[in-house]
């Protein structure tokens, strides 16, 4: 078992397999001028598989594949198949924008992918376009429908943004009436690749809930261990909804996750800086044992919460990277 210096078990790796993306979500990336990383600087799939195996031997049993958009990287399906065969990895989940995902759903089902989180910021094609700056709403909705009809558990992610998609909160809740889906509302974080917050007015979890309560009654559900979302059901509806206080950060006390960026930097908190670069270690020729020792060392020095991690950043590196370079 991997235990951090605050007694939290670390068993969950979030791996961003690329920083590239075919959308330009307002809250994640600027519309123009993005400089992608050189391909040779990215971890190769062989390097990622090796790291997952080493981390798995130390106690990581759950992996989320994210990005950028995971399905824009060539070779992703055979990589997923390979890690789905690792004995230590009991659960693989994927976060995707759904634009290239639909053809892969049968293969994902077959390899036992447990759940897919689909980013869906609006159920209106014009608002979707305004947020993502790409006209791909129909493709995403086709993916949504096929996922709901599959064996894979489906969650949707909607970043709540003042003046952009507030009316979608009620529309999303209506999705849960007949679909067995968990629709999640996320507080916007400042990871948009530019200085500053993005939207001036943040919708914190409490405000989202107050808005929901203006129209709906709800029942609290039991949250799974280390859940980042507070989960509820509308009586009589099939699905559920969750609110993720990603900006106000009230869930850090049970945080069980570490992150690997596309270029192999390990981050023990979304709000902190990278601690160690595993790509450089691998390319320097170290053994699995040394890789494991590095993991144990950084996990032993984790910040208590996202606020402490943010404070520990050097002043020259503000919290402003694109989420596509960290993985969300």
In the region spanning residues 244 to 263, those forming contacts with ligand SAM, defined by CB under 6 A, are 246
Q: Smallest distance, Å, CB 246 to ligand SAM?
A: 5
Which of these ranges, 20-28, 204-212, 234-242, 255-263, lies near ligand SAM under the rule CB under 6 A? 20-28
Kindly tell me which residue out of 11, 18, 117, 119 binds ligand SF4, with binding defined by CB under 6 A: 119
Q: What's phi and psi for 110, nearest 5 deg?
A: -65, -35
Residue 211 CB neighbours (<10 A) = 16
Q: Smallest distance, Å, CB 315 to ligand SAM?
A: 21
Kindly tell me which residue out of 10, 13, 21, 54 binds ligand SAM, with binding defined by CB under 6 A: 21
CA torsion sign for 240, 237, 123, 145 is positive
Does residue 67 touch ligand SF4 according to CB under 6 A? Answer: yes
Does residue 17 touch ligand SF4 according to CB under 6 A? Answer: no
314: buried, middle or exposed (CB in 10 Å: 19+, 13-18, 0-12)?
Answer: exposed
Q: Which does 165 bind (CB under 5 to 8 A by kind): ligand SF4, ligand SAM, none?
A: none
Kindly tell me which residue out of 10, 28, 181, 282 binds ligand SAM, with binding defined by CB under 6 A: 28
Kindly tell me which residue out of 4, 19, 168, 188 binds ligand SAM, with binding defined by CB under 6 A: 188
Using the minimum distance from each CB to ligand SF4, give the nearer residue, 189 or 303: 189
Asked if 248 and 188 touch (Cβ cutoff 8 Å), the reply is no
Which of these ranges, 7-15, 101-109, 184-192, 265-273, lies near ligand SAM under the rule CB under 6 A? 184-192
Beta strands in 91-234, from DSSP E residues, in sequence order: 91-96, 115-119, 153-160, 181-187, 219-220, 230-233
| Interface map 296-325 toward ligand SF4 (x if CB under 6 A) | ---------------------------xx-
What residues does 94 pair with on adjacent strands?
65, 116
Tokens at residue 293, please? 């020792």
219: buried, middle or exposed (CB in 10 Å: 19+, 13-18, 0-12)?
Answer: exposed
Query: Starting from the edge strand earliest in sequence, which strands make up the sheet with 276-277, in order?
Result: 219-220, 230-233, 240-244, 181-187, 153-160, 115-119, 91-96, 62-66, 12-16, 257-260, 265-267, 276-277
Q: Which does 29 bind (CB under 5 to 8 A by kind): ligand SF4, ligand SAM, none?
A: ligand SF4
Binding site for ligand SF4 (CB under 6 A): 21, 23-25, 28-29, 67-69, 97, 119, 323-324
């Amino acid at each position: 078992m991997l235990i951090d210096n605050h007694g939290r078990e670390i068993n969950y790796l979030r791996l961003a397999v690329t920083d590239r993306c075919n959308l330009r979500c307002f809250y994640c990336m600027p519309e123009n001028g993005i400089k992608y990383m050189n391909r040779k600087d990215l971890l190769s799939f062989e390097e990622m598989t090796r790291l997952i195996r080493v981390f798995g031997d130390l106690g990581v049993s759950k992996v989320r594949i994210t990005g950028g958009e995971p399905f824009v990287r060539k070779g992703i399906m055979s990589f997923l198949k390979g890690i789905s065969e690792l004995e230590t990895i009991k659960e693989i989940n994927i976060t995707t924008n759904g634009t290239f995902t639909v053809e892969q759903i049968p293969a994902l089902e077959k390899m036992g992918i447990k759940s897919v989180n689909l980013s869906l910021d609006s159920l209106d094609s014009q608002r979707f376009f305004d947020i993502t700056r790409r006209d791909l709403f129909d493709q995403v909705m086709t993916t949504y429908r096929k996922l709901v009809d599959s064996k894979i558990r489906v969650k949707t992610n909607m970043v709540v943004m003042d003046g952009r998609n507030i009316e979608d909160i009620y529309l999303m809740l209506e999705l849960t009436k007949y679909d067995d889906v968990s629709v999640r509302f996320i507080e916007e974080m400042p990871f948009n690749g530019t200085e500053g917050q993005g939207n001036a007015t943040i919708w914190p979890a409490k405000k989202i809930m107050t808005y929901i309560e203006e129209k709906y009654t709800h029942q609290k559900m039991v949250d799974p261990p280390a859940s980042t979302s507070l989960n509820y059901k509308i009586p009589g509806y099939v699905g559920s909804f969750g609110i993720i206080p990603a900006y106000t950060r009230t869930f850090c006390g049970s945080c069980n996750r570490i992150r690997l960026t596309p270029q192999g930097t390990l981050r023990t908190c979304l709000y902190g800086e990278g601690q160690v670069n595993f790509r450089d270690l691998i390319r320097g020729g170290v053994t699995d044992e040394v890789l494991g020792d590095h993991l144990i060392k950084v996990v032993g020095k984790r910040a208590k919460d996202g606020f402490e991690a943010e404070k520990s950043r050097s002043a020259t590196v503000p919290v402003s990277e694109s989420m596509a370079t960290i993985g969300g």
